[in-house]
Amino acid sequence: MGKGSSKKVVKKGKKPKKKVPGYKIFKIYDVSGGALKRKNRVCPKGHFFMANHKDRWTCGKCGYTEMK
């Protein structure tokens, strides 16, 4: 048992990184199966890709939803 040797080391200048959601990326690419697959669902309002949900497609820009 050492006495008084448990000084806390505080690293200065390092704040915990904020989590930035990468939703834009995974809405464009389907990463299932280890390979990047481009989704080819296009929003009728002119946005490029829509998010693939279990039972529907959703545009991340305008919120357009299309049932499968």
The residues binding Zn ion (CB under 5 A) are 43, 45, 47, 59, 61-62, 64
Measured over the CA atoms of residue 40, residue 53, residue 36 and residue 29, the dihedral's sign is positive
Q: Which is nearer to Zn ion, 33 or 63 (CB)?
A: 63
Nearest distance from residue 13's CB to Zn ion, in Å? Answer: 42
φ/ψ of residue 33, rounded to 5: 85, 5
Nearest distance from residue 22's CB to Zn ion, in Å? Answer: 19
Query: Terminal CA-to-CA distance of the chain, rounded, Å?
Result: 66
Nearest distance from residue 53's CB to Zn ion, in Å? Answer: 15
